[in-house]
Amino acid sequence: MLTSSIKKDEINRDWYIVDADNKTLGRLASEIAQTIRGKRKPNYTPNLDMGDFVVVINAEKISLSGNKEMQKTYFSHSGYPGSEKEMPISLLREKKPEKIIYNAVKGMLPHNRLGRKLMKHLKVYAGSSHPHESQQPKPLNI
C-alpha cells in the first residue's frame, strides 16, 4: 500500500466569507483556523499550505462570553526595560477591531514559517464591505 502525497499543482484553494455578527470569538476563530489550515480536505498534509482563503466581515460585532469584555487584555513587550504595554479588549475594539479576530486565529495556527504564511490567507474587515468580490467567496457556515 503506497501513501499518496499531494503535489503543489494539485492543491485547490477556495475563497470563503464569514459574517462575524453575534458570533463567539473562540468558536469562530477555531473554525477559521481549521479552514485556513486545510484540515477539512480529504488530502490534508500537515507540512503543506493547502488551506483556503477566508474573508471575515463585521469584525466589530464579535461577541465575547463571560466577563471578557471587562477583564481580557492583550500584553506586548518590545524587550526594552519599561516598554510593556497592556491594552484592554474594549479599547482594541474601538481602535482596531480586526486585530481581535486576527490575534485569536494566529494563536490557533502553527508558530513557525508555515503559520506565518497561512496568516496571509486571512482577510478581516471591520465593516460589511470588502474588496474581494472578484474572487466570488462562498459563505462558510459556522
Which residue segment(s) compose the domain that 19 sits in?
Answer: 13-139
* Alpha carbon distances (Å) from 130 to 22, 29, 35, 49, 75: 19, 19, 19, 24, 29
Tell which residue, 16, 2, 106, 6, has the closest CA to residue 48: 6
Model confidence at 33, pLDDT cuts 50, 70, 90, reads: very high
Residue 117 belongs to some domain of the structure: yes
Residues 65-122 have pLDDT tens digits of 999 999 999 999 999 999 999 999 999 999 999 999 999 999 999 999 999 999 999 9
Model confidence at 6, pLDDT cuts 50, 70, 90, reads: confident
Question: What value does the mean pLDDT of the chain take?
Answer: 94
Q: What is the pLDDT of residue 54?
A: 98
- In this structure, are residues 130 and 59 in contact, taking their beta carbons and an 8 Å threshold? no
Q: What is the pLDDT of residue 8?
A: 83
The CATH number given to whatever domain includes residue 82 is 3.90.1180.10
pTM for the whole thing?
A: 0.92
Residue 55 belongs to some domain of the structure: yes
Residue 46 belongs to some domain of the structure: yes
Residues 43-60 have pLDDT tens digits of 898 999 999 999 999 999
Using CA atoms, how far apart are residues 45 and 38, in angstroms rounded to an integer? 8
Span 19-26, average pLDDT: 95
Structural domains of the chain, count: 1
Residue 8 belongs to some domain of the structure: no
Whether the pLDDT of residue 3 is over 90: the answer is no
Residue 21 belongs to some domain of the structure: yes
Using CA atoms, how far apart are residues 109 and 93, in angstroms rounded to an integer? 22
